[in-house]
Every structure is written in C-alpha cells, then in structure tokens.
Structure 1
Amino acid sequence: MPRYALITGASSGIGLALAEALARRGRNLILVARQRDALESIACELTQRFGVEVLFRVCDLGEPMQLSGLLHELGQGERQIDLLINNAGVGTSGPFLDQDWGREQQLIEVNILALSRLCHALGNAMALQGGGQILNVASVAGFQPGAWMSNYYASKAYVLHFSEGLREELKSRGIKVSVLCPGPTRTAFFRGAQMDVSRLEDSKLMMGAEELALFTVKALEKNRAIIIPGWRNRLLALSPRLAPRWLVRKLSAAINKPFAGR
C-alpha cells in the first residue's frame, strides 16, 4: 500500500515549503487547503519536479461538515498516511472584545478542534497500521500569554501542550509526535491576521519559510519533540520561564500592541 504525508494549510507559506521539502526527499503527498486552483498548480509542479505522487483535497477545516467529509474519504481510501502535518492555522489581532466573533470562533475551530480531530482520526489509523508520525505546528507564542492576540496565543499553547502529551501517550503504539514552534516567518499569515509587520521585513527575527521547512524536516528525521528553528526563537521560548508572570504579560502586550490590526 502506498504511503503518503498529509499536510494541511499546504497552499502557501510554511505548509507549501514543507510540501516541497518532503517531495524533494521522495515523499508522496496529500495536500489539504481551501484554494483549489493553488493546490492543483502546486500538485502538478511538485509531481513534475520530483517525480512523486501529489494528491490534493479542497477542505475548509473551519467547517466541521467539510472536515467530516475529508476524514470519511480518507478512511475509505487505500492510501496509507504515515505522516500527518497539522499546519493550517488562523490568526487574529487587536482587542479581543472588538473582534468579530465569527472570526474568533473560526480560529478555535481550525487551530484547536480540527487539529485535534485529525490527530484522533489519523492517529487511530496509524496505530492500526503499526505506527506513523505527527507534526503539529504551534508557535513560540505558545510559551506565553499574548495580549492583543489573546485567542491566537492561547490556541498555540494548546497545540504545544497537547502535542507533548500525545508524544508520551502514543510512544507505545509506534507513533512519533513532534511540535513545531516557529517565530516570525515570511508568509501571508500576518496579512490574514491584519497585522502590520513592515518594520520587521528586514529583521533577522524574520525567517524564510524554505529555511524553516528544511530545518523542520531534518528535525523530524531525528524525532525531535519540540522543534524551534533559530537561536533567537529558542531564546524567545526560554525567556518566559526566567521572568515573573506579571512581567511576561506586560512585555508581551507591549510588543504586540504596535502590530495589532486595530
């Protein structure tokens, strides 16, 4: 039975970079995102460049019925998924009470509920087939609270802790679990979250998606538990543990507020 890596949020940014890095290593792929045209183009390009099979499925993970349909299709198929990369994510910024609740709910649906459901469904499939690997994409934001992006930071804290817990639970079933915690990355995320990060464009804090993907794939091969690309990002993840919580809250709020969308 052919084996595949399934990547959500694969039409751009980190997801696309991870898809290319894996295809370069000869991995067959199933790409999931909302944009059919982009997915079709990416699938054709990766197939031609690397000679791998690249399938795609159009799915809005924020819509539970669409996710149910995707999982049903995957469950009925004969393709074995031995690597799940939960990369899809939504971001919002600005005062929480001023946000449209529909957008905040979508963030929770995608960042937390869809990710957990995919881990549950495909994790069970991996257990039956004798093993596999899961990579959940969190953020250095998951190590601290983040005023002006409170819902987003909290969602990434969930992903971080959920992934660490699963890693211990699933070892005995032959399933490896890792969590990726990138810092600021050159993707369309900031535009989607309505954040103005133009001042960071040339900053050394901003990492390219291709560089991040290469680091991540190498770390996955070594079965790293928590993957934090770049020493600056590792420092960002470590610093909240060294300072009192009241100071972490205030510093995070002071850093986030100038970039908030409102």
Structure 2
Amino acid sequence: MAKPIIITGASSGIGYELAKVCAAKGHDLVLIARREDRLLGLKDSLQAAHGVQVLTYRGDLTDANTRYQFFDWTQFKGITPYGLINNAGFGALAPFAETDWDQQNAMLQLNIVALTHLTRLYLPSMIAQGQGRILNMASIAAFLPGSYMAVYYASKAYVLSFTDALATELEGTGVTATTLCPGPTESEFQDKAAMQNVAMFDAKNLPTSGDVAIYGYQAMEKGQRIAVHGTKNKMLTLVTRLLPRKKLAEISRDTQKPA
C-alpha cells in the first residue's frame, strides 16, 4: 500500500472528510468504524475517484478485544501505517449527576483509552520505519473545563496533554504527533451529543467538516504539534491562559447549559 493511513471513526463527520483528503493526496487507506454500510460506500467512491486502495473494518473501538483484533488483522495484511488518525470520539450534554454511566464509560474508553491503545500498538513499527504521522483528535474543549460536558472536555484535555508529550518523545525519530483542535463545526457531533439548541452551535457560518479535515491533514504533514482551527478559536485558547479556571467553567456553563 502507498503510504497507508489508518483512520478511526471514518463513517461520518471530520473522519469521513479526512479520508477524502488523504485519498486525494494519494494515500491508501484503512478505515474503521461501526457503520459498515457507510464505510463501504466511502470505499467505493474513494477508489473510483482517486485510484487508491481502501480497506474497511467494522468494529467498536470501545472494546479492547476489537482493538487487538483490528491490529492483528492489519498485521496479517502486512500494513505498516505511515499515518494513524485517531478521530473516533463522541460527547454528551447533561449535568454529570444525571448522565448514564455506561455512556460516560464508553466515552472514556473511546476518547481516551482506544486512542492511547492504538497509538501504542502502531507506534513501534512507525518508529522502526523512520517515518510516520500521528494525528489525534481533540477540540478547543481541551483548553477549558466544560460544565455539562465534564467528561468530554476532560477527555480532550487528556488527548492534548498526551499528544504534546508524545511529540517531544518522538523528536528525531522521523515520526511526529499532532493534536487537532477544532471548535464548533458542521457535523453530526451536535446531534449525537444532543446539542442542537446550544448557543455555540447557533452561530452562522460554522466551518465545515471538510474545512477542518484539510487543515488537519496539512498540520499533520507539517508535523505541527498543536493545530487549532480558526482565528477565533486560536484567540479563545489564548484567553483561557488569562482567566481563572472558575470563570472558564462558568462561561462553558452559560454557553452550553441544556435547555
């Protein structure tokens, strides 16, 4: 395969668009998500449009056994990835005391554990080949406490910290690690998270998933450590360094309090 890139959560949103961008750049792809029908449709369109090879795998990455099986399957296929894009993740809007624990636990398993586990599984072979790109999906949520989405925001803070530390460890290896931090984006995320009526998603002219995907791919290829998409979001991350944490939590409370 030509500079193969593994993309998790590729059946919709930013992951779907990242697959399109990577294919347009000539990368063969290995796509994993739970919705096989969407993966197969994406596979057919990318192979027809760009002449790349696309492999798909249906699986739930919250399950450790699935992660091991997926890794073994790629090993059997002889795939040493050039790129690993840990995009799969989700959020949920609710006061923490009213959340469903199984849902919150699944969020932790997907947003944190699966991302970390897959990185550990594939990183040694990337280092051995002397080149590689890791792109981990975080959010501007990584920079502040998120009232009513406490676990989601905390999970993205983990991704930012983990990937930033990893980037330093990888200096000189030919492998880089990038954290992609988009803000509110047109995607299925807000529907899945029950955030349709939240103020931050009422803004006009939200960036599309395609916009974020192009930016993320470029940052990954440059080996950029932290990639915050959009001028307003960059300014927001600067503001978070100046305000007290309590004030930041109050701001997130006021902008995304459930109806």
8 Å contact 2:24–2:50 — kept in the other structure?
Answer: yes
Deviation >6 Å, runs of 4+: none
Partner of 2:37: 37
Matched, 1:211 2:208: no
Query: Runs of 5+ in structure 2 lacking a partner?
Result: none
Deviation at 1:76, TM superposition (A): 2.8
Aligned residue for 2:24?
Answer: 24
Deviates more, 1:143-152 or 1:197-206: 197-206
Work out the CA distance in 1 between the residues paired with 2:148 and 2:205: 20
What is the deviation of 1:206? 2.1
Aligned to 1:106: 106
Q: 1:3 Cα deviation (Å)?
A: 2.9
Contact 1:94/1:148, CA 8 A, preserved across alignment? yes
Deviation at 1:199, TM superposition (A): 5.7
Q: Output the TM-score relative to the length of structure 1.
A: 0.94
Aligned residue number for residue 242 of structure 2? 242
Q: Which amino acid aligns with 1:67?
A: R
**Cα distance in structure 2, aligned partners of 1:53 and 1:42:** 12
Greater Cα shift, 133-142 or 19-28: 19-28
Change (3 A) 1:196 1:28: same
Do 1:2 and 1:80's aligned partners in 2 also have CA atoms closer than 8 Å? no
2:46 corresponds in structure 1 to: 46
| Maintained 8 Å contact 1:90/1:106 | no
> 2:70, 2:138 → 1: CA distance?
23
- Does the aligned pair in 2 maintain the 1:200–1:206 contact within 8 Å? no
What is the 5 A alignment of 1:58-207? Answer: 58-197=58-197, 203-204=203-204, 206-207=206-207
Q: Give 3-state SS (helix, strand or coil) of 2:52's partner.
A: coil
Mapped contact 2:18–2:213 kept (Cα < 8 A): yes
State the alpha-carbon separation in 2 of the partners of residues 228 and 240 from structure 1.
13
- How far is the alpha carbon of 1:197 from its aligned partner? 3.6
Deviation readout 1:145-191 (Å, 9 max, x if unpaired): 11100000000000000000000011233210100000001111111
What is the 5 A alignment of 1:226-237?
A: 226-237=226-237
Q: Give the aligned residue type for 1:108.
A: L
Is the 1:89–1:107 contact (alpha carbons within 8 Å) kept by the matching residues of 2? yes
Distance between the aligned counterparts of 2:30 and 2:171, measured in 1? 25
| Cα distance in structure 2, aligned partners of 1:253 and 1:74 | 43
Give yes or no for contact 2:177–2:220 (8 Å, CA) kept in 1. Answer: no
Post-superposition shift, 1:236?
1.8
2:200–2:256: 8 Å Cα contact kept in structure 1?
no
Q: What's the offset of the Cα at 1:203?
A: 2.0
Contact 1:130 1:174 in 2 (8 A): yes
Q: Quick one: which amino acid aligns to residue 213 of structure 2?
A: A
TM-score, structure 2 normalization: 0.95
1: CA distance, partners of 2:161 / 2:125: 22
* 1:10 and 1:88 in contact (8 A); partners too: yes
What is the CA deviation profile of residues 2-51 of structure 1, one whole-angstrom value per residue up to 9, with x for unaligned ones?
Answer: 43000000011000111101111111111110011110110000000111
Instruction: Work out the percentage of aligned pairs sharing the same amino acid.
Output: 37
Query: How many residue pairs are counted as aligned between the two chains?
Result: 259
Distance of 2:178 and 2:165 partners within structure 1: 10
Q: Which runs of 5+ in 1 are unaligned?
A: none
Shift of 1:202: 6.1
